[in-house]
Structure 1
Amino acid sequence: MRNSSKIIFIICTIMLISGICLRLALPSSIPLKLKQPTPTQSILLLPLDSRPVCSTMVQKLGALAGLNVILPPKSYLDNYQTPSDRQKLFPWLQKNQLLCDYSIISADNLLHGGLLAARMNTATPSEEDELLKQLRQLPITRQQAIFSVIPRLLVSDQLLPDRWYQYQLMRYSQLADMVRITGSFALTQELRRTEAKIPPKVLEKYRSRYQQSDRFNLGLLKLATDDRRITFGQDDASPIGLPHASAVKLQSSIVAQKLQQQAQLTYGADEIASLLLVRYYLQQSNWQPKVYLHYASPKAESADMPYMAVCVGAALRNQLKLIGASEVSTPDSADLICYVNCGNDDFRPSVKQAQELQQMLDQDYKVALIDSSTNFEAEELLLPQLLANNVPINKLAAYAAWNTFSNSSGTALAQGLLFCGRLRQLQTAGADPERLAALFAANLNFTAERILEDYYYQKLVHPQLRQTLEAFGANPVELDSEDKTATEQYIQGKLSLQAYKLLHDNLGRTPFYQQNGQSYYLRDLSVGAKLPWARIFEAELQVWTDTGVKTE
C-alpha cells in the first residue's frame, strides 16, 4: 500500500483532469455571498459516539434551523476502539447543560464510552447505579432528552472467543425469544440443543448483556418526567431475538407506569440525536407538521430491511410519532412528502419512479427521498435513475441513503422537516429573497454532502476501495497511519471528481431557488474527505458551495 500511494494519487489526478475537460459549462450567473443567520438557541449534544453521523452531522442539521449544537471537546470523545474519557464527560455535561436551552444526552457514552464500547459491555452494575444517581441529581433548568440503546443481536467482532460462536448465539437468541412468545415444546428442544453447542461462559456473558441492559434501562425509565424525556433505541436489531424481548419489556413498563408521553421506544441508534433535535425544534415552533409517505413500490411499506426490528412502514410511523409529526393520506395536505425507495432483488427503481418524483417536484412539493438498498448496492437506489433522467435533485428537500433503513429515514426526516420548518418561519416573518435563498443554499449543501457520502462513497467508492486495500495487504478495518493517509488521498481524489461531475451534470444546471425574477444557481461544489477512524466503514466529509444569481 505504501509503494502504491503515489500511483493512486496520480491516477485520481488524471481522472479528475479528464473529467473536467469533458464537462459542459454551467449557466452564467453573478457570484453572490449569501449570509447564514446567527443561531438563536444553543443545544448541548453528548453524542452516542464521535462518528460524524452521531456528532457533526447533527451540528449541521441544527444550523439549518438556526440552532447552535455544542459538542464535547474531541479529546473527550472515543476514537474507534479507544472509549470516551468518561471521567471528563460528565463534569463537562454538568457545567455546559446549564448554559444551553436543551440537552441531548447519550447514556451509553457516559456509561461505556461509546457505541462500540457498549457492545463490549464494559460498565459494571455499580457504575450503572452511580450514573443513574448522577443523572437523577443533574439539575433540570432546561429540557433534557436522554437516550439509551438496547444491545444488538450480534456480539462484537472484538470479543473473543465469543465471535467464533456468532451463528450459534444468534440462533440461541432467536429461539429463546420464540419460546418466550409461543411456549412451543419443539422450539424448546431446539433451544436446548443450540445451548449445548455454546461454551457455558460465552453463553452466560451473552445473556448477561441483555439482563444488565434491561436493569439499567428500567432504572433510567424511573427518571422520566415532562422535562426529562427518555428514549430507548435498538442497535442493529432483528424482529425476533433477545433485543426484541428487551424492547417488549421496556414498552410494557412504559405503558404500566403511564409514561407514554415521557418515554418512547424507537428502532434505530445512530439517528436518534437528529430526531430528538427535530422534536425540540417542532415543540419550540409550536408546529405539528403533516407528512405523506409515498412508497416507490407496492411491497415497500411492508418490507423487512436488514438490521431492522420492524417493517419499513412501522419504522417510519414510529419516527413520526417520536418527533411529534403526523401522517396524512394525500400529498396536497402534506408539509413534506417522504418518497421511500427500498430496492432489493425483486425491485430496482426505473425511469417510472424517476418520472414520478419529477412530477412531484414540478408541482412544488417538498420531497425528502429515503433511498434504501437491501443489498447495499447502487443499482437498488433511485438516485442513479434521477441522474440519468436529468431530474433536478437540487430541488429535493432532503436525501439520505445511509446503511440501515432507520438511519436513512431518520436523517431524511430530520433534514426535510428542519428545512420546511425554517422556511415556514422565514416566510411568515416576511424575509427578503436573499435570506430565503440562503436557506435553500444551506439545505442544498447538506443534500450534496449526503449524496457524496451515502451514494458515491458508500455504494461506489467503498466496495472498490476495500478490494484495493485487501489486494495490497492492508486491513480495511484496522489501517495503520500510512495506509490511512494514502487511503484518504484516494478517497479525496475519487470524491473530488464525483463532486465536479455532480455539479456540472445536475446540481448546477438548473436554479435551486427562484423568486421575483431572480434565479439562484450553484456555481461551485467542492469536498474535503478524511476517515474519522482507522477504518473505511464511514467517511467524514466537508462540502463547500458557491452560489450565483441571474435575472431571468
Structure 2
Amino acid sequence: MATRVVYLPLDERPCNLLYPQQLAAMTDLEMIVPRMDQLGSKKQSADCEELSVWLMQQCKDANVLIVSIDMLVHGGIVPSRLHHDSAERCHDRIRMLETLKEANPLLKIYAFNLITRVPAYSSSEEEPDYYDQVGRELYELGWFTDKRDSVGLTESEEIRLKNITAAIPAEILRDYLARRDVNSQVNQMSIDLVQSGVIDYLIIPLDDNSQFGFSAMEQKTLTVRVELSGLSDKVAIYPGADEIGCTLFSRVFCEVKNYNPSLFVRYSSTKGPLCIPKYEDRCLAESIKAHVTSAGAVISDASNDANAILMVHSPAVGQSEMAETDTAFQDRHRSYFSEINIREFVQVMKHYLKAEKLVVLADVALCNGGDHQLMRLIHAQGLLGQLSGYAAWNTSGNSLGTVISHAVIASYYRFNASEKQDAHDISSQSFYISRLIEDWGYQALVRKQICENNLPGLGASYFEISHVIDEVCELIEVELNRFAEEYLWEQGVKPMKVVDVELPWKRMFEVGFAIQMGGVHGE
C-alpha cells in the first residue's frame, strides 16, 4: 500500500499548493490536499475550523502529515501578518495536532511555521494597511534596535533610531509588536510539540529577513532554546518560506525509501559561497547546507561519489548589491563582470553531463528570476534538454529548496531503476520544464516585457490588473509559448504547450499555468 501523505499548504498559490503535488507525482507516495477554495485567498483567511475537520477526516488512516502551522492557526501566510488572534486562541488551534496524534499514534507529523517577515519597504500589498505609511520605518526600527543591542550604533544611526521611533504612531507600533509577539509564541508552542513528541520534525523558516532586525532577534531566541533543549536534530531554523512544502516532502520521501542521497555543490563564483543573498541573513553556503539537510540529503566532498550535482549560479556580492531580473545588464554590480565566470561554469556543467551525472541548476545570482545571460549560453551549448532540474524563482532560498527536493527524488529513480514508475520521467521532466518556463521565461523576460509594453496601454500596472485580467493572461500565454518555442523545443525537450494561464493574486508577481504534453497535464 502506498504511503499516504496529507499536506496542508501555506497558502493557495502554485508554489505552495502545486509544487509539492508535482514532486509527489514523480513518486509512488500518495499526497492528499484540501480543495483550493478551502485555503483562503491572499488577505482572506481560510476557515481554520473547516480545515481542522478536514484534517481529522484525512489523517485517521494517513502515514504522514505535512502541515503549515500558519495555515492551521491563522488561515494562511498573509493572514498570519494581519490577524488579531490571542495567544490563547492560537494555542487552542495548534492543539489540533495533539488530537490528530492521539487519534492516529502512528501518524508522523512534519510541520513548519514562519518567523514573521519584516519587509524593508512601505507597501500594504501583503501587510497591514499602515505598512503603506511606515513599513520602511518599522523595518529600520527592528534593524537599528537589534544592531544597537548586538554590536552598537554609530552616532548617525543613534539619531536615525530616535527619529524613527518618534515617527511611528504609538497605536501602530503596539499593534505590530503585539502580533509579532503572538506569532513568536506560536513558534514556541510548535517547539513544545516537538519536545512532547507530537511533531516529529519542524522547520521554522525566516521569511524575507536580514542580518539584523525583529526576525533576527526572534531567531536567536528560538535557536538558543532548541540547542539547549537538545532538539537540533528535530528543529531547523533557516531562511525560506514558500519552498518548505517541497523540502518536507523530500525529507518524507527519503525516510520512506530509506534513502540518504549526496549532492556535490559547484558554484559559478569563487566568492559565491560567502555572499549573503538579498532577503536573507547568512552566507549562501550555510543556507545550502540547511536546505540539503532538511531535505534528507548530505553534501558530498567529491563529484564522483555524489548522487547528483547541484550547480549553483551564485552572486559575487550580497544583499542590496545583488541584481534583480529587471536590472539592466549593464547596470549590474561590477562583480557580475569580473567575479562570476559563466563560461567556465557551463563548461563544467557539460563535463558532468558527458559523464552521465544527474545535474540540476539553482540559478540564484539574481533575485526574482533566472539569469538570461547564463541560460542563453546553456541554450547555445545545447544542454537544456540534458539537465534534470532548475529553479530561479523569487528568493535564493525559494529556488534552492525547490531544486534540491527535485534532485533528491530524481536521483533516487536514477539509481533505483527497478522501482521506476512509468509516470516518473514524464512528471519529472514536466516539472523541470515548468520551472524553465516560469522562472526563466516569465520572471526574467515576459513579466518585464508585458509590464513595460502592454500594461500602460490597458490602463493597468504591476499591482492593478483586475479589470483586464483576461487580456493580460492571454498575452502571457502567447509570450510564454513563444519563449518555449524559441528556447526549449529544439533542445531535446519534448514540445509542450502552455495553457490555462492565471494570475493567482491578480498581480504580475506570480503566475500559474498548465503545460500540455501528449495529453499529459502538469503545472
Which of the five TM-score ranges fits, normalised by the shorter chain? 0.7 to 0.9
Give aligned pairs, total: 487
CA RMSD of superposed structures (Å): 2.2
Q: Is 2:134 the counterpart of 1:134?
A: no
Secondary structure of the 2:167 match is: coil
> 1 CA distance for matches of 2:19 and 2:141?
37
Show the counterpart of 1:461. 446
Amino acid at match of 1:260: S
Secondary structure of the 1:487 match is: helix
Q: Is 2:264 the counterpart of 1:292?
A: yes
> 2 CA distance for matches of 1:293 and 1:451?
20
Which structure has more RCO (C-alpha within 8 Å, separation ≥ 6)?
Answer: 1
Q: TM-score, normalised by structure 1?
A: 0.83
> 2 CA distance for matches of 1:270 and 1:405?
11
Is residue 171–residue 194 contact of structure 1 (8 Å, CA) maintained in 2?
yes
**Gaps spanning 5+ residues in structure 2: where?**
316-322, 324-332
Q: Is 2:351 the counterpart of 1:359?
A: yes
Show the counterpart of 2:124. 157
Show the counterpart of 1:274. 246
Secondary structure of the 1:104 match is: strand
1:184 shift after superposition: 5.5
Q: Is 2:446 the counterpart of 1:446?
A: no
> 2 CA distance for matches of 1:454 and 1:107?
27
Q: Is 2:280 the counterpart of 1:311?
A: no
Residue by residue, what CA displacement relative to the aligned partner does 1:394-441 show, whole Å, maximum 9, x if unpaired?
Answer: 2212111111000100000011111111332334x5x6xxx57x5333
Is residue 102–residue 142 contact of structure 1 (8 Å, CA) maintained in 2?
yes
Residue by residue, what CA displacement relative to the aligned partner does 1:32-58 show, whole Å, maximum 9, x if unpaired?
Answer: xxxxxxx93221110000000001111
Show the counterpart of 1:399. 390
| Aligned residue among 134, 155, 168 for 2:137 | 168
Q: Is 2:77 the counterpart of 1:85?
A: no
- Which residues in structure 2 correspond to 1:52-71 (within 5 Å)? 52-71=14-33
Q: Is 2:490 the counterpart of 1:505?
A: yes
- Which residues in structure 2 correspond to 1:511-530 (within 5 Å)? 522=494, 524-528=495-499, 529-530=501-502
Show the counterpart of 1:209. 179
Is residue 273–residue 284 contact of structure 2 (8 Å, CA) maintained in 1?
yes
Is residue 226–residue 262 contact of structure 1 (8 Å, CA) maintained in 2?
no
> 2 CA distance for matches of 1:380 and 1:172?
37
Residue by residue, what CA displacement relative to the aligned partner does 1:80-122 show, whole Å, maximum 9, x if unpaired?
Answer: 3322122211110111112322111111112221111112234
Amino acid at match of 1:152: R
Secondary structure of the 1:50 match is: coil
Show the counterpart of 1:477. 463
> 2 CA distance for matches of 1:503 and 1:293?
25
Q: Is 2:478 the counterpart of 1:493?
A: yes
Show the counterpart of 2:78. 116
- Which residues in structure 2 correspond to 1:190-229 (within 5 Å)? 190-224=160-194, 225=196, 228=199, 229=201
Q: Is 2:366 the counterpart of 1:374?
A: yes
> 2 CA distance for matches of 1:232 and 1:375?
22
Alignment CA distance shift 1:201-1:471 (3 Å): farther
Alignment CA distance shift 1:501-1:162 (3 Å): closer
1:312 shift after superposition: 0.9
> 2 CA distance for matches of 1:120 and 1:156?
14
Secondary structure of the 2:439 match is: helix
Residue by residue, what CA displacement relative to the aligned partner does 1:257-314 show, whole Å, maximum 9, x if unpaired?
Answer: 1112222212100011110001011111112111111101111111222211212111
Alignment CA distance shift 1:245-1:380 (3 Å): farther
> 1 CA distance for matches of 2:206 and 2:262?
26
> 2 CA distance for matches of 1:545 and 1:351?
32
Is residue 162–residue 202 contact of structure 1 (8 Å, CA) maintained in 2?
no
The structure with the larger Rg is 1
Secondary structure of the 2:230 match is: coil
1:375 shift after superposition: 4.9
Secondary structure of the 1:138 match is: helix
Structure 1 ranges of 4+ moved more than 4 A? 183-190, 375-381
Show the counterpart of 2:109. 144
1:240 shift after superposition: 1.3
**Gaps spanning 5+ residues in structure 1: where?**
1-38, 509-521, 548-552
1:458 shift after superposition: 0.8
Secondary structure of the 2:290 match is: helix
Amino acid at match of 2:263: V
1:198 shift after superposition: 1.6
> 2 CA distance for matches of 1:421 and 1:123?
43
Amino acid at match of 1:182: V
Secondary structure of the 1:373 match is: coil
Residue by residue, what CA displacement relative to the aligned partner does 1:476-503 show, whole Å, maximum 9, x if unpaired?
Answer: 32432x5111111111111122223334
> 2 CA distance for matches of 1:533 and 1:169?
25
1:507 shift after superposition: 3.0
Is residue 206–residue 215 contact of structure 2 (8 Å, CA) maintained in 1?
yes
Show the counterpart of 2:326. none
Secondary structure of the 2:40 match is: coil
State percent identity of aligned pairs.
23
> 1 CA distance for matches of 2:517 and 2:52?
37
Alignment CA distance shift 1:73-1:376 (3 Å): closer
